[in-house]
Structure 1
Amino acid sequence: MNKYLDKFKSFFEQSFDGDSLNGLARSHQFVRRKSVLDGKRFLELLLFSERDTKLQSLEDIAFDFSEYYGKHISKQALQERFNDSAVEYISAVLQQQLSKKANTVFPSENAYRFDKIMIKDSTRFKLPWQFREDFKGHGGHGIDSQISIQFEYDLIGGGVADLNITPANRNDQKDSKETLDRIEQNCLYIRDLGYVSQEYIDRIHESKSYYVNRLNTKWTVLDAAKKPLDFVDIEKQMSKSRITCVEIDVLIEKGKKLLPSRLVLEKVREETYKERIRKAERAARSKGYSLSDDYRAKTRLTMIITNIPKKWANTEQVRKAYSLRWQIELIFKTWKSQMRLNRVKPVRIQRFKCQIIAKMIWIMINRRFLAAMEIPDYNGKKPIKLCEWKFFKVVMRLSQKLRMVIFYGENLELWLGNLFEIARKKCQSETKKKKNNNLEILNIFLA
């Protein structure tokens, strides 16, 4: 463990050095001469004050400052510090954290088939209507203001490829098109359907990389003879033969291009089908059209496409690979339950931005710890998979001690050793009967 502790120590010295933080603050005109609240102290207050910002007042922040620094700051003075320069400063600190890739701190010693397994999705939540100019909602249901957090990370190394806070009206499809240049060679990309465009599939092919995604029902899909697939007939044949899952080699039409892909079709439960049809029929009635037989047949199926070679993964393994995507949903659930990310009240917009960005900094720091403890072959021990929700719950309890480590020079090795010990005993993922956890899925077909 010592080699990882040494790298953590180096990481913290670089990331939370007072001169470095205040240097960033000066570059954004945040630091004032003779101010009791410099950049480092401002960051500390945001990172370690009350998690539930809906309950937090300026008086609470001022009291926290007085308790730790023995100096008084008025609510008015504190309010004035939440300005555009403060937002730029906190944003720069977040970018500083994101620039320090996990694999440069924790060298990966794996033998996985792919260099990275990139999982991406977004989470949204409603904001007070007063924020609508900066965070416009996506429309409908009376939502004037809403925020979107785009997140993409590497399941193998833990590194973060994208973390972007935007208004909710910048949808996933737009994000996908604007980030095509970030697709790397020999990586596996697993994304929600909202990000999956033909341009995205084409770019992955051109980059000699791989994908596992759901099929867009509006795409033209051809069989090996270049004839459109008849999903009505396929679904009938599956029902007649009582087959629950089949795989077909297909061609996805993109302009004049035909992109080869594997299509995995799995029948959904009857309850799932009825729920899908109920929602689709309600939407169709409101727009004055009826559902086609083709659409109804597709609704009975989960349709997954991939370009992973068959010799690397069979049909069942492709299904399991796509299930890895749900890990990011658990991450978002953890952020909201543990960090109370979606608990917001009307405040000065710059204060809200500083608080939400600071929470993301806190999350990124502790995800780095999480990635370290899941390193394969750690000290010769069998690799483990930690439950992120359990892990963050533990780190929350130890957060004030982490505060003393980062900002007051207390023993980092001691804190980390304690965290490693608790996490490995209390935070391991539970494997459900007849189901594999994420680490087991990786070892089954990716190694």
Structure 2
Amino acid sequence: MISRKDIRPFAEAIYSTISKSALRQFARDTKFVQRKGKLKPEDFLVLCSLSADSVSDESLHELCGTLSLQSKTSLSKQALDSRFNDNATAFLKEIFFQLLSKQDWFVAPIDENRMFSRIRIMDATSFQLPDHLTNYLGTNGSGVKVQLEYEWYQGRFLHTSVHHGKASDRKAALDVEPSLRPEDLCLRDLGYYSAENLKKIDKQGASYISRIPTNTKLWLWDTHRGWLPVDPMQDAENISPGETVDYGFIRVVITHEPA
């Protein structure tokens, strides 16, 4: 569970963009709030978006405990359960789109001497759905995966898409290839690794930072001995903390890459 101290900066960032009075009005407009009650809409928002690793994985008892700890609101399991309805969905969607429309407010200072024109961070989140939603196949029943790409300098979302829960991250990387520009830097985790995708990023004059899978072999050219295998893990044992090794031009060979 995230501590109350850790949540405060995130909550304050939301309230600096959408005031509590405006947030409560959205709750009334979406009929999430129809009469005065114990549960404030801002506390429900924090509960669903900041307080837990995954609301769907926690019991009502745990969520009530989190709510009591974070906002001093005492609510029964039955009362909290009744609030997870279509109106709550409409309220959370409205807040998301309101924040999305105001993303220009989150502009980071731009260094004129920066190495890259854009830093593109791509990641995905997955969660289960009710079993009757069979159009979205998950790893265990029904599930959905949301892909999101964020640009660091301007604080803008570049890409968002919804897929079934088993959709490949590698294939999702193909969706953003048309928007690549020279001097972009792409940051992604190992799930997006694809030799073909990295070639296309390089062809566009962009750069990337990625871990490499275990089935990847690296080779370094030596003018006297030809191509020699490189083992970064072994080389790391011989350098001091903070020291780096620049291999220059290397050849990357993937022994097997799944389709």
TM-score by length of 2: 0.57
Instruction: Assess, with a 3 A threshold, how the Cα gap between structure 1 residues 172 and 34 changes in structure 2: closer, same or farther.
Output: same
Aligned counterpart, 1:211 = 206
Aligned counterpart, 2:164 = 167
| Residue of structure 1 aligned with 2:95, choices 83, 93, 96 | 93
Q: Which has the higher helix share?
A: 1
Matched, 1:25 2:27: yes
**Contact 2:126/2:143 (<8 A) preserved:** yes
Aligned counterpart, 1:434 = 244
Larger gyration radius, structure 1 or structure 2? 1
3-state SS, counterpart of residue 153 of structure 1: strand
| Residue of structure 2 aligned with 1:153, choices 127, 150, 153 | 150
Task: Spell out the pairing of 1:29-428 with structure 2 (5 A cutoff).
Answer: 29-47=31-49, 49-51=51-53, 56-65=58-67, 72-101=74-103, 104-122=106-124, 130=131, 133=134, 135-137=136-138, 143-154=140-151, 156=153, 159-162=156-159, 166-172=163-169, 175-176=172-173, 178-179=175-176, 183=179, 185-190=181-186, 192-194=192-194, 201=200, 210-212=205-207, 241-244=225-228, 267=229, 269=231
**Contact 1:21/1:40 (<8 A) preserved:** yes
Instruction: String of CA shifts for 1:344-390, please: whole Å, max 9, x gaps.
Output: xxxxxxxxxxxxxxxxxxxxxxxxxxxxxxxxxxxxxxxxxxxxxxx
CA RMSD of aligned residues (A): 4.9
Task: Spell out the pairing of 1:5-24 with structure 2 (5 A cutoff).
Answer: 12-24=14-26
- What CA distance in whole angstroms lies between the structure 2 residues aligned with 1:10 and 1:78? 24
Could you say which structure has the greater relative contact order, defined with CA pairs below 8 angstroms and 6 or more residues apart?
1
Instruction: String of CA shifts for 1:303-323, please: whole Å, max 9, x gaps.
Output: xxxxxxxxxxxxxxxxxxxxx
Q: CA deviation at 1:43?
A: 1.1
Amino acid at match of 1:79: D
3-state SS, counterpart of residue 21 of structure 2: helix
Instruction: Assess, with a 3 A threshold, how the Cα gap between structure 1 residues 44 and 10 changes in structure 2: closer, same or farther.
Output: closer
- What CA distance in whole angstroms lies between the structure 2 residues aligned with 1:147 and 1:69? 30
**Contact 2:146/2:160 (<8 A) preserved:** yes
- What CA distance in whole angstroms lies between the structure 2 residues aligned with 1:88 and 1:38? 16
**Contact 2:11/2:46 (<8 A) preserved:** no
- What CA distance in whole angstroms lies between the structure 2 residues aligned with 1:152 and 1:17? 26
Instruction: Assess, with a 3 A threshold, how the Cα gap between structure 1 residues 105 and 176 changes in structure 2: closer, same or farther.
Output: closer
- What CA distance in whole angstroms lies between the structure 2 residues aligned with 1:239 and 1:188? 32
Instruction: String of CA shifts for 1:266-299, please: whole Å, max 9, x gaps.
Output: x555x9xxxxxxxxxxxxxxxxxxxxxxxxxxxx
**Contact 1:103/1:159 (<8 A) preserved:** no
Q: Which has the higher strand share?
A: 2
3-state SS, counterpart of residue 210 of structure 1: coil
Instruction: Assess, with a 3 A threshold, how the Cα gap between structure 1 residues 124 and 52 changes in structure 2: closer, same or farther.
Output: closer
- What CA distance in whole angstroms lies between the structure 1 residues aligned with 2:94 and 2:244? 45
Amino acid at match of 2:137: K
**Contact 1:196/1:213 (<8 A) preserved:** no
- What CA distance in whole angstroms lies between the structure 1 residues aligned with 2:135 and 2:71? 34
Instruction: Assess, with a 3 A threshold, how the Cα gap between structure 1 residues 102 and 187 changes in structure 2: closer, same or farther.
Output: farther
3-state SS, counterpart of residue 78 of structure 1: helix
Gaps spanning 5+ residues in structure 2: where? 1-9, 210-218, 234-239, 247-259
Instruction: Assess, with a 3 A threshold, how the Cα gap between structure 1 residues 197 and 105 changes in structure 2: closer, same or farther.
Output: closer
Matched pairs, number:
218
Instruction: Assess, with a 3 A threshold, how the Cα gap between structure 1 residues 131 and 154 changes in structure 2: closer, same or farther.
Output: farther
Instruction: String of CA shifts for 1:35-82, please: whole Å, max 9, x gaps.
Output: 332422311333454547587432343355456766653322211211
Aligned counterpart, 1:320 = none
3-state SS, counterpart of residue 117 of structure 1: strand
Aligned counterpart, 1:224 = none
**Contact 1:172/1:194 (<8 A) preserved:** no
**Contact 1:15/1:97 (<8 A) preserved:** yes
| Percent of matched pairs sharing the same residue | 22
- What CA distance in whole angstroms lies between the structure 1 residues aligned with 2:181 and 2:82? 47
Gaps spanning 5+ residues in structure 1: where? 1-7, 215-234, 245-266, 272-429, 437-447
**Contact 1:62/1:74 (<8 A) preserved:** yes
Amino acid at match of 1:188: D
**Contact 2:108/2:153 (<8 A) preserved:** no
Instruction: Assess, with a 3 A threshold, how the Cα gap between structure 1 residues 53 and 186 changes in structure 2: closer, same or farther.
Output: same
